[in-house]
Structure 1
Amino acid sequence: MQRHGSPQPVQDRRVQRSRSALLAAAVRLVVERETTDIAVTDLTDAADVSRKVLYLHFADRDGLLVAAAADLVERELLPQVDEPVDDLRAQVLVLAHHFAGHRVFYRAMLTGSCAFAMSRTLDDLFGSLNRIFVREQYAGLDEPTVRDLAAFFIGGASRLLSEWLVDDADPLRPEDLADRLLRVASVLMPPSPEPPGEHRP
């Protein structure tokens, strides 16, 4: 008699190990070679899996590379920026330090064959955070406008982030990116309401 449920957890762990090995190998090889132009066989050899396993998890090589970038952001960065912080500059610096620390990887991703997909993935990852920010700063906006304004903000922020990662001289200074982003935000954010009873002449 076959016992139901026993093989599945073992299979799930094996599948997860293969996926994790491929994601880690993708980041490692992109950093080592400073390019996304990496053969599928090199990725599978580094992860110690077959080509078939790669294609079971990802559509193609670029799909793996973009997934590896998303995984890096989700594991290392989002838990930090999801925590409520009163100091906006401190939160922006957390973001800047993450990207500066992984500059070689992100620069290759933003200039390689998967640059467009990489930019879209970053926009999607930070979209929900931006919607929260927009709701807080622009109280009373309807949801479609919140989504559109958040997309507008994240598109501009992504452009500044990409230029900083790709073009700025080494070593990157996270403070420089934070200053640029906050300077633009200060122009775009609505003015704080005056306390009751206080009116400017």
Structure 2
Amino acid sequence: MSDTEHWPGFDRKKHGATPAGEAIDRRSLRTRMALQDALMRLTVARGYDDLSVAEIADAANVGRSTFYAHFTDKDDLLRSSLSALRDILAQEQAATRQDGPDGLFGFTRFLTRHMAEQQVLIRAMMRGRSGAILMDYIHHAIADILRAELAPGTRPSNSAFDTEFSVQFLVGGYLSVLTWWLERGAAEPPERIEKAFRAVALRGLDQAA
């Protein structure tokens, strides 16, 4: 798998290039996908911070005016590229809900594995401003999933405060573990990392209940 083939197994034609609720024709969709792929390729090759809109447009074989017809700047393009990730995580979580307690935090199974598969791309993104955008996007996507899973009343004695406290604690913990693991070269199998995190997280929730 190429390090620019981000979010594998996901129908980008259906979800990846289009903001929520926005209809888009096939030609526009192809343009958006070409720009997204160009951004990822150039980020790996040269880094994110020094890239210009003109360079991204040239790599996608479109004009600057076409770029600005779809995106306001390269940060907007990056966020559009990441929009598929939120949908994937929601899909993964929905698929594990039937597993009962074992399905809690099921999104970590996909995300941990995927981050390991895309180490070259992730490292390149983390070296520039794109790293902050990436981590902020993942933070909010995970937090939204956890709020739904840990909504007040779904566990014994969890108030709105307790729920948000748990959400922020779990998101921060997971991202810290993920960053630490990737910085060490993802030496351990992703299954070991996500299972260890889920075990600690579930034990912590049980003790807090």
TM-score using structure 1 length: 0.72
Give the structure 2 partner of residue 109 of structure 1. 125
> Residue 43 of structure 1 is aligned with which of 34, 56, 64?
56
Cα-Cα RMSD: 3.1
Is 1:161 the counterpart of 2:178? The answer is yes
Higher mean alpha-carbon deviation, 48-57 vs 142-151, is at 142-151
* Kept after mapping to 1: 8 A contact 2:105/2:198: no
Give the structure 1 partner of residue 205 of structure 2. 189
How far apart in 1 are the matches of 2:135 and 2:105?
Answer: 24
Q: Which runs of 5+ in 2 are unaligned?
A: 1-22
- Tell me the SS of whatever aligns to 1:138: coil
Give the structure 1 partner of residue 96 of structure 2. 84
Q: Which amino acid aligns with 2:170?
A: F
What is the CA-CA distance between 1:153 and the residue it aligns to? 1.5
Q: Which runs of 5+ in 1 are unaligned?
A: 1-9, 194-201
CA deviation map 1:97-131 (0-9, x unaligned) = 11111122222223312222221111111122211
Distance 1:181 1:12, change over 3 A: same
TM-score using structure 2 length: 0.69
Is 1:95 the counterpart of 2:116? The answer is no
How far apart in 2 are the matches of 1:192 and 1:109?
Answer: 36
Is 1:120 the counterpart of 2:136? The answer is yes
Larger radius of gyration between Structure 1 and Structure 2? 1
How far apart in 2 are the matches of 1:17 and 1:170?
Answer: 34
CA deviation map 1:144-174 (0-9, x unaligned) = 5423431232122122212222x12265620
What percent of counterpart residues are identical? 26
What is the CA-CA distance between 1:84 and the residue it aligns to? 2.5
Give the structure 1 partner of residue 71 of structure 2. 58
